[in-house]
Amino acid sequence: MIVNVSEAKTHLSRLIDKVYHGETVVIAKNNLPMVDLVIHRPTEKRELGQLAGRLTLPEDFMDEDPAVCAMFYGEGQQ
């Protein structure tokens, strides 16, 4: 499917849905094909654990703060 820029601006959500479902969409300017609308594919695999050993949490990190609890639940209802 080839669409002009103005039509692509008007119907971008619909075109993205078509590409997501496998259709080829080319965006043209003055009826000259300029760009392909394609699904994003990451170039590299994500590397997990980049902050391992460089980040420490305090021992009381998960403890409730009475002042915050009072704001959410009211005084004395913890």
Contact between 37 and 7 under an 8 Å Cβ cutoff? The reply is: no
Backbone angles phi, psi at 35, to 5 degrees: -140, 155
Cα distances (angstroms) measured from residue 51 to each of 48, 54, 60: 8, 5, 20
Q: Could you say which DSSP state residue 43 is in?
A: S
The pLDDT assigned to 33 comes to 96
| Percentage with pLDDT > 70 across the chain | 96
pTM passes above 0.95:
no
